[in-house]
Amino acid sequence: MNFIQLEQNIISKKTFLCLGLDTDIDKIPNHLLNSQDPVFDFNKSLVDRLSSKIVAVKINTAFYESRGKDGWSSLEKSIDYIKSNHPDLFTIADAKRADIGNTSEMYAKAFFEKMNFDSITLSPYMGEDSVKEFLKYDDKYAILLALTSNHGANDFQLPNDLFLDVISKSQKWNNSQKLMYVVGATKSDYLEKIRDITKDNFLLIPGIGTQGGNLQQTIANSTKLNKRILINMSRSIIYASNGVNYLDSAEKVVDDFNLKSF
C-alpha cells in the first residue's frame, strides 16, 4: 500500500488509529490459551473485529522474539493473515532495526520479502547507508525514529536538536518520499516544528494511552497541512479487558478514541 492510499483510507474511515499488537502471551485472555497458537488467534480476533475502525496495524517484534521460533511463527502467521484478509490495513513491523549495508539488506529481505510488511521502524543512529536498502522497494516505507515517547529521548535525541538533524538530513536522501518518522505524543510541543520540515511524510505517533500523551494537542499540532499521521495505541486497546468479552472492551476503547480524535 502506498501513502496516498493510506491517507485516503484515513479520510474515508475517519480514523488515524494504528492498532499495536504488542501481544504478550502472559496477558491474553485465559480462554484462548488452549488453542494451538493463542497469540495468532488473539491477533486475528482483534484485527477481524476492529478492521473497519483502524487504518494500520503495528506488530512489535520483541514480543514474538521473546518466545523464540514459536513466537516467530506467530509473527509470520499474523502478518500473512492480515495481508491476505485485510489488504486495506497498512502494516508496520515495529522492529527498530538498521545496520551496515549488507546486513540491512538482510533485514529488508526478512520484513519486506519473507514477510510482506508495508513498512519497518528503524533507528537512524548508523546513518544513511544503514537505511537506504529499505528504500529500494516500491511502496514500502522506512519509519525513522526521530523523537521517541520515552524518557530516554532526553539523553541523545533532544540535546543539540539531534532529532531535527535526523529529520532534515534524511529529507535529502534518495527516495526520502518513502520515509516516515516516529514522534511521540508525549513530545507534542515539538510537532509543529517537525511538521514544518516534514510536510509530506507520514508521522507515526505512539505515546497516547498507557504512556499518557495529550491527544488533542497532538492532533492539532500535526494535521494542519494534511492528515498524514498514524496514532498508535497498543496496551490500552488489546488489554482493555482480559475476560471473554475482551473484543467488546477493545472496540469500546477504539470507538471512544475515534470519536475524540476525528
Q: Shortest Cβ distance from residue 76 to a copy of itself (Å)?
A: 6
Q: Does 101 bind a copy of itself (CB under 8 A)?
A: yes
Q: Does 37 bind a copy of itself (CB under 8 A)?
A: no
How many C-beta neighbours within 10 Å does residue 113 have?
11
Task: Choose which of 32, 39, 55, 98 interacts with a copy of itself (CB under 8 A).
Answer: 98
Q: Shortest Cβ distance from residue 244 to a copy of itself (Å)?
A: 25
Q: Shortest Cβ distance from residue 222 to a copy of itself (Å)?
A: 20
Closer of 6 and 118 to a copy of itself (Cβ): 118
Q: How many Å from the N-terminal Cα to the C-terminal Cα in the chain?
A: 22
Q: Does 103 bind a copy of itself (CB under 8 A)?
A: yes
Q: Does 152 bind a copy of itself (CB under 8 A)?
A: yes
How many C-beta neighbours within 10 Å does residue 185 have?
25
Q: Does 148 bind a copy of itself (CB under 8 A)?
A: yes
CB 15 within 8 A of CB 227: no
Phi/psi zone of residue 159: left (φ > 0), alpha (ψ -120 to 50 degrees), beta? beta
Q: Does 114 bind a copy of itself (CB under 8 A)?
A: yes
260 is catalytic: no
44 vs 201: CA distance, rounded Å: 29
Among 49-57, 61-69, 193-201, 219-227, the segment contacting a copy of itself (CB under 8 A):
61-69
> Beta strand pairing status for 17-21 and 56-60?
parallel
Q: Does 232 bind a copy of itself (CB under 8 A)?
A: no
37 vs 255: CA distance, rounded Å: 28
Q: Does 248 bind a copy of itself (CB under 8 A)?
A: no
Q: Does 76 bind a copy of itself (CB under 8 A)?
A: yes
Q: Does 83 bind a copy of itself (CB under 8 A)?
A: no
- Select which of 77, 83, 96, 132 is catalytic: 96
Q: Shortest Cβ distance from residue 255 to a copy of itself (Å)?
A: 26
Q: Does 124 bind a copy of itself (CB under 8 A)?
A: yes
Closer of 109 and 260 to a copy of itself (Cβ): 109
144 vs 122: CA distance, rounded Å: 5
- Tell me the number of residues near a copy of itself by CB under 8 A: 59
Q: By the criterion CB under 8 A, which residues form the site for a copy of itself?
A: 22, 24, 60, 62-63, 65-69, 71-73, 76, 94, 96-104, 106-107, 109-111, 113-115, 123-131, 145, 148-157, 159-160, 162, 165-166, 169, 211
Which residues are marked as active site? Answer: 96
